[in-house]
Amino acid sequence: MAKNDKKTFVKGAVILGIAGLICKVIGAFFRIPLYNMLGDGMQYYEAVYPYYSTLLVISSAGLPTAISRMVAERTAVGDMIGAKRVFRKSQILLAAIGLATTALMYFGADFLARSTVGPLAAPSFRVMSPALLIVSIMCSYRGYLQGLQHMTGTAMSQLAEQAGKLTIGLYLAAQWMPRGLEYGAMGAVAGVTISEFLALIVVGAFYLFRKRDFELSESALAEPSSDKGIIRGLLAIAIPVTIGASIMPITGIADASLIKSTLMSIGFDEAAASMRYVALRSNVTNIINMPAVLTIALAMSLVPAISAARTAKDQKTIHTVSAMGIKLAMFIGIPCAVGLFALSAPVIDLLYT
């Protein structure tokens, strides 16, 4: 395995891992005061996320991975024009998906709100809906840069997103809170949408700033792909990944109704059941997901590294990078699992009591 390949993979994983941890810390600084501020109103905020996450999976799970892989395969043979064509076609595809999912959430807001915590949550669904289009467009930039193994742009946009959510979301929640709990929740949701737009600006600016670094050369080894061929290639990779990634958000939608109804069936009133579900979604789930930040960073770095090695038919690099990824994931995951199991109560008390 070439030292440069190993360094690039490790560097990318480190950049994304550090950014992910910082984002989780910022996210905690957002959710803890928001939870204390809204109290019962958190149910309006949390009602949006299972549906938002499920719709977002369509554009943010499989397609960035597909873009990253196809771009890496083309850059491995020096075909930057082919890589750029993948990027352009993916932008069109993701914009179309983003428009469709945005329209679905916006016009279905009343139905979605009634199916969760009631009609007062409908404005939060509508305010969140533009984020689906914004994130879809942003995913094309992130996938392209990751395929080139430039992880800094993705990391910077993630940090901008969380910083914007912390400052703008808490500010708007505090400003709108006097009008009612549902307005405070809507302010926090509006902060999320605005922060996604800030993240898009950051990753777009990074792309424009580094654009000249990506030389537009076309490899003689590469066979030009048709537009339909590129779209088919993207979908062939993205659809299986998207199906797998959709399991957790769909489970979240089921949990939203099942957990609340189960608690009410054993004697809790509706308000108490809602608060316990919010505690699960806002507190417990966020802590459990913390270690996943590092393994997701590993996965995002692994895809382009392995794809490039596969195109070059470098089996040694494929084996070495894959083995390193598995070892690092176990090194991170096993201690975190044991620690959270043994110290769950003290961690919750420390952060939320």
Which tens digits make up the pLDDT trace of 53-111?
Answer: 888 888 888 888 889 888 888 888 777 888 888 999 999 999 999 999 999 999 999 99
Other C-beta atoms within 10 Å of 217: how many? 11
Which one has a higher pLDDT value, 269 or 98? Answer: 98
- Percentage above 90 pLDDT, the chain: 24
Is a pLDDT exceeding 90 seen at residue 271? no
- What local confidence, expressed as pLDDT, does residue 217 receive? 47
36-51 pLDDT, tens digit each: 888 778 888 888 888 8
Contacts of 287 (CB under 8 A, 6+ apart): 340, 347, 348, 351
Interatomic CA distance for residues 265 and 282, integer angstroms: 23
Q: What is the mean pLDDT of the chain?
A: 81
- What local confidence, expressed as pLDDT, does residue 160 receive? 92
Query: What are the b/e assignments for 154-182, b being 16+ CB within 10 Å?
Result: bbbbbbbbbbbbbebbbebbeebbeeebb
Helix axes 292-311, 315-342, angle to 10 degrees: 170
Whole-model pTM? 0.77
Contacts of 71 (CB under 8 A, 6+ apart): 83, 86, 87, 143, 144, 146, 147, 148, 304
Q: Are 124 and 185 in contact (CB under 8 A)?
A: yes
Q: Are 1 and 316 in contact (CB under 8 A)?
A: yes
The highest-confidence range among 152-156, 170-174, 312-316, by mean pLDDT, is 170-174
- What local confidence, expressed as pLDDT, does residue 216 receive? 53
- What local confidence, expressed as pLDDT, does residue 10 receive? 67
Which one has a higher pLDDT value, 7 or 124? Answer: 124
Interatomic CA distance for residues 78 and 8, integer angstroms: 17
